[in-house]
Amino acid sequence: MTNHSIALALASLRPGAEYTLVGDTLAGITWLDGVLTQPADVDIEAEILVVEAQLAATAYLEERAVAYASQGLTPSAMIEALWQKTMESYTATADAMQVIRTQIKNEYPTPEEA
């Protein structure tokens, strides 16, 4: 359990609620909202499991995005390469980018591929 996962769980359970959170435990929650009630610890803990599973399931996307950018595979560069390949019949840039994309996708597989 982290501060971040607690905050995400609370945002999911009580969107817009006012509270403060200090540390990485439920004991660090100070509920400030006068309208919305604080969820029970058991409900927060259950939602934390959901949130952490969602984060783990999509972590590869962030890792891939960083790796793509570090290799110059920006959206504009990929669009340019696609244009060259499709409209100008120049395939070298797009083909080289695809080799890099495949390497990165293999390095950071989806949870199903891992």
Whether residues 79 and 53 share a domain: the answer is no
Instruction: Quote the domain boundaries for residue 50.
Output: 1-59
Residue 65 lies in a domain: no
pLDDT, tens digit (0-9, with 9 covering 90-100), for 72-105: 999 999 999 999 999 999 999 999 999 999 999 9
Contact call for residues 26 and 44 (beta carbons, < 8 A):
yes
Q: State how far the Cα of 30 lies from the Cα of 42, in Å rounded to an integer.
A: 16
Residue 51 lies in a domain: yes
What are the residues whose beta carbons fall under 8 Å from the beta carbon of 91, sequence distance 6 or more?
Answer: 84, 85
Q: What is the total count of domains within the chain?
A: 2
Residue type, 88: E
Whether residues 49 and 95 share a domain: the answer is no
- Percentages helix, strand, coil for the chain, rounded to the nearest 5? 65, 5, 30
Whether residues 77 and 28 share a domain: the answer is no
pLDDT, tens digit (0-9, with 9 covering 90-100), for 4-49: 999 999 999 999 999 999 999 999 999 999 999 999 999 999 999 9
Contact call for residues 107 and 67 (beta carbons, < 8 A):
yes
Select from 46, 8, 6 the least CA-distant residue to 25.
Answer: 6
Last residue of a domain, one of 12, 28, 59: 59
Residue 16 lies in a domain: yes
pTM of the model: 0.65
CA 53 to centroid of chain Cα atoms: 11
Whether residues 97 and 48 share a domain: the answer is no
Whether residues 50 and 81 share a domain: the answer is no
Contact call for residues 76 and 97 (beta carbons, < 8 A):
no
Residue 9 lies in a domain: yes
